[in-house]
């Protein structure tokens, strides 16, 4: 599915697609994507650059993670955002 994504296109996926191996494959292929991730995933924050490491393994990918809270529904949403040329 993501392999057919045109150059510079942005893939948007829900958490059913979320898997650490899948994320690593997308990053290696330099695909742009926004992926809703599960709320129970371990996140490690890097204060030096604002990136977040997703997952517990040493080779887990660091990128941007955006949290959104719906206060009425008492629900939290987390989005993993990767655009390889915008990580600096």
* Inside any domain, residue 82: yes
Mean pLDDT computed over every residue of the chain: 82
- pTM, full prediction: 0.73
* Inside any domain, residue 23: yes
* Inside any domain, residue 1: no
Q: Is 41 exposed, middle or buried (0-12, 13-18, 19+ CB in 10 A)?
A: middle
28-67 pLDDT, tens digit each? 888 888 889 888 888 888 888 888 888 877 777 788 888 8
State residue 88's pLDDT score: 47
* Inside any domain, residue 20: yes
How many residues in the chain? 88
* Inside any domain, residue 32: yes
The total domain count for the chain is 1
Domain that holds residue 45: 9-86
* Inside any domain, residue 4: no
């Amino acid at each position: 599915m993501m392999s057919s994504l045109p150059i510079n296109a942005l893939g948007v996926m829900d958490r059913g697609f979320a898997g650490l191996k899948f994320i690593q494959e997308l990053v290696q292929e330099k695909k742009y994507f926004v992926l809703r991730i599960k709320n129970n995933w371990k996140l490690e924050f890097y204060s030096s650059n604002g990136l977040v490491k997703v997952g517990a393994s040493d080779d887990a990918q660091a990128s941007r993670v955006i949290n959104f809270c719906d206060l009425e529904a008492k629900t939290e949403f987390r989005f993993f955002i990767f655009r390889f040329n915008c990580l600096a």
